[in-house]
Structure 1
Amino acid sequence: MSESKTTTNHDEIRQWAEDRGGRPAVVRTKGEGGILRIDFGEPEEELEPIEWDEFFRIFDDNDLRFLYQDETGGGKNSRFNKFIDRKNG
């Protein structure tokens, strides 16, 4: 069974994403920031590439945690990830 973990550590998040070919991205919303995503290269029209600095500014400003899996149930690298509220997640 695969296990989910959470972190707020910027270095861990960046390393996890880059190990899987992911890059920081955002879906822009009205107002400041947007919805954070890790872009793995699949075509998604609304994804806008951003720099890690902006990514982590939005991450911290919204008081988020990164929920992720290292491996799938079959032992392969997992790309499962989600951004959750630090207070309620």
Structure 2
Amino acid sequence: MNLFQFNQPEFGWWVEVNTLVPRCTYYFGPFDSQKEAQLSRSGYVEDLYEEEARDIVAMVKQCQPDVLTIFQDEAELQISSF
């Protein structure tokens, strides 16, 4: 038995969506199962496309994001200002 896994809370299933325009990462979830997240994925992609996001890549993963929307341009600006 791996004690590290035993002490960790179980992560939920999330839909991670990356867009090039705007340069963002979005997390939608959590879902109880991979199948549930997979079924919801296309709806998030369609919504973002209607909001004029482009070059959209969506994947289902098991994780626990700290932030649900990450604006890449702002993150790079904050990092470069140090």
Larger helix share, 1 or 2:
2
> Do these two structures clear the TM 0.5 threshold for a shared fold by scoring above it?
no
- For the pair shown, the structure with the greater C-alpha radius of gyration is 2
TM-score by length of 1: 0.24
Higher relative contact order (Cα pairs below 8 Å, separated by 6+ residues): 2
TM-score by length of 2: 0.25
Larger strand share, 1 or 2:
2
